[in-house]
């Protein structure tokens, strides 16, 4: 753990950041988790992902940087699935796509609504989002992604979390960064 804390401190000290120290640590942790999730998603076999039924039934494109794109999906195999799986799917989509402003689902009908922004150079079509959904569904089905920890959160709720770090660890890191300012 000490080497991870040291690496986090070094990374935080060498780049600008927004928000409080805890929020910056949370963002750094989410970047690391996102990188790991991207690796896992890439390892999912295309044939296995293609077996997952995910239909796009509505799409409204993004309006510049004013209104997010809206994509609605139907997951027929997930109709009636327990809420814990839908919650996990929402959390992992937010992590994987990281420009999502809202995710909502109707577990009885098996529908998912995703609102997201994309930069021009990294255009995320509804097909791209669909591909990510399919791969996350495969990983959840394999139990490669945990579902027991999840609590579906809106983006403002995420800003107050500190990932896997305890409050003591976050305070220790904060104190270390403050001390580093005197020696740098």
104 lies in the same domain as 177: no
Domain that holds residue 173: 1-43+162-184
Q: Report the alpha-carbon distance of residue 80 to residue 71 in Å, rounded.
A: 21
pLDDT of residue 155: 43
Q: Please enumerate in sequence order all residues whose Cβ is within 8 A of that of 100, keeping only pairs 6 or more positions apart, or say none.
A: 93, 94, 114, 115, 116, 155
29 lies in the same domain as 70: no
Q: Is residue 31 part of a domain?
A: yes
Q: Report the alpha-carbon distance of residue 85 to residue 67 in Å, rounded.
A: 28
115 lies in the same domain as 65: yes
In what side-by-side order are the strands of the sheet with 111-116? 55-60, 69-74, 111-116, 100-106
Per-run averaged pLDDT (10 residues), the chain, 184 residues: 66 65 73 87 91 92 88 93 89 86 91 85 78 93 77 46 55 64 52
Its pTM stands at: 0.72
Q: Is residue 157 part of a domain?
A: no
- Closest to 38 (Cα-Cα) out of 96, 121, 87: 96
102 lies in the same domain as 142: yes
């Amino acid at each position: 753990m000490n080497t991870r804390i040291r690496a986090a401190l070094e990374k935080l000290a060498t780049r600008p950041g927004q928000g409080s120290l805890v929020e910056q640590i949370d963002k750094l942790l989410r970047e690391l988790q996102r990188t790991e999730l991207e690796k896992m998603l890439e390892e999912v076999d295309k044939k296995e992902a293609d077996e997952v039924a995910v239909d796009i039934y509505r799409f409204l494109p993004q309006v510049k940087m004013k209104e997010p794109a809206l994509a609605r999906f139907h997951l027929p195999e997930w109709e009636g699935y327990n809420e814990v799986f839908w919650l996990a799917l929402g959390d992992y989509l937010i992590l994987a796509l990281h420009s999502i402003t809202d995710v909502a689902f109707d577990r009885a009908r098996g529908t998912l609504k995703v609102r997201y922004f994309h930069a021009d150079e990294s255009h995320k079509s509804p097909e791209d989002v669909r591909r990510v959904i399919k791969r996350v569904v495969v990983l959840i089905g394999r139990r490669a992604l945990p579902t027991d920890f999840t609590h579906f959160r809106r983006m403002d709720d995420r800003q107050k979390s500190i990932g896997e770090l305890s409050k003591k660890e976050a305070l220790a890191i904060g104190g270390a960064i403050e001390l580093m300012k005197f020696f740098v």
